[in-house]
Amino acid sequence: MRILLVEDDELVAEVLVKDLAAQNYAIDVAADGQAGWELVDAFTYDLILLDVNLPKLDGITLCRRLRSQGLLIPILLLTSHNSSCDKVMGLDAGADDYVTKPFDLDELLARIRALLRRGSSTLPPILEWGDLCLDPSTCEVTYNSEAIHLTPKEYGLLELFLRYSSRVFTRNAILEHLWSFEELPGEETVTAHIKGLRRKLKAAGLSQDPIETVYGIGYRLKPLATQQPKSKSKASKKPKQLPPDIEQQAIETAINVWQRVQEKFTNRVAVIEQATTAIMKNDLDESLRQQAQEEAHKLAGSLGMFDFDKGSHLAQEMEQLFEAKMPLNLKQRERLAELVAAMHQELERAITQHNPQLLRIEN
């Protein structure tokens, strides 16, 4: 499945790309609404993750534009605003669902799966072809309850055929669904992955090839009419666990990401502190106010992605104060200064803690 992520906060985008790629989704990223519009115009997507506050073209306007063109792609809004008015505005613009930053990754993935199922009529949560089962929630593939280990692209191929069982896919259509535009290979790559998938399914014990070649066109899921009735009894599924080397690699990746984002956090707080100092001196210009508001907004989302809920809430309150009518009164100024001091403490605690588990490593 191919997803477009339209998100201007590079820290949030980086974490989401990592987590979504781990679920075997192909991800394209746009840093502003106009770039998102151009990508949708050029490529085919199964779902769009759309931030509301975007430069050049905001998320609500982009959503309305997509719907006005008759595009029915499922759209999931990412918003840091939790008011009913903002949610209603997004849904009225044509969005199918929304999550509020900072969001829980498991909930986001569940909502993505639900929207993809909705776009595929009424498919059950577990996709099946006889005794061959694919569980999108765990990315597990089994045959007769025995696990089949597939590469991400092989998994994506199988999910594509199971999810759209009556559709014939050309090689070009498969490329558009499973590869991002930055890594788009030639059509011969599809043939190679199809062969690899067939070989692994046969080795797992499937007596029939579930993938049918439609000569001159492409591939589709073979009808199941000749399959034997499924066995009623199945062994209970064991919890999925990562091998030690894969788990260690995930932890090392998490540490590297955390080291890179520390500087981003510090720079964003510095802009906010600069604007706060200017407010105290009655010397805040509009450009700096907007910049501080934007940095507070991004800080709220990115800190939330790393499970620093306290810091995220502090940043949200800062954003609200920078949105307020200027100049701020004495009470508001004092509160803003308190928030900046608290944020410095929270950021120092986060850096000292240096916990790689902040990246929500999934086991």
239 in a structural domain: no
Q: Dig out the tokens for 190 from the structure.
A: 């599809």
23 in a structural domain: yes
Last residue of one domain, picked from the residues 94, 119, 144: 119
316 in a structural domain: yes
For residue 220, give the H/E element and its range. strand 218-221
188 & 255 share domain:
no
233 in a structural domain: no
d(CA 112, CA 105): 10
Q: How many domains does the chain have?
A: 3
236 in a structural domain: no
pLDDT class for 74, splitting at 50, 70, 90? very high
229 in a structural domain: no
9 & 113 share domain:
yes
Q: Dig out the tokens for 320 from the structure.
A: 């609200």
132 & 217 share domain:
yes
At 249 the pLDDT is 55
235 in a structural domain: no
User: Could you list the residue range(s) of the whole structural domain that residue 176 is in?
Assistant: 127-221
* CATH number reported for the structural domain that contains residue 249 in this entry: 1.20.120
Last residue of one domain, picked from the residues 119, 151, 184: 119
At 84 the pLDDT is 65
Residues 308-326, mean pLDDT to the nearest whole number: 87
Q: Please indicate, yes or no, whether the overall pTM of this predicted structure exceeds 0.75.
A: no
265-270 long-range contacts (CB < 8 A, ≥24 apart) are: 265/299, 265/302, 265/303, 265/347, 265/350, 266/347, 268/295, 268/296, 268/298, 268/299, 269/299, 269/340, 269/343, 269/344, 269/347
Provide, rounded to the nearest whole percent, the portion of the chain with pLDDT above 70: 81
Q: Which of 110-114, 163-167, 224-228, 322-326 has the weakest average pLDDT? A: 224-228
pLDDT tens-digit readout, 259-279: 667 778 888 889 999 999 999
- Of 24, 71, 83, 20, nearest to 49 (Cα)? 20
Q: Are 2 and 39 in contact (CB under 8 A)?
A: no
Q: In the β-sheet with 127-129, what is the strand arrangement from edge to edge?
A: 127-129, 132-135, 140-143, 146-147
CA angle 63, 47, 99 (to 5 degrees): 70
pLDDT class for 289, splitting at 50, 70, 90? very high
* CATH number reported for the structural domain that contains residue 148 in this entry: 1.10.10.10
d(CA 296, CA 290): 10
pLDDT class for 252, splitting at 50, 70, 90? low
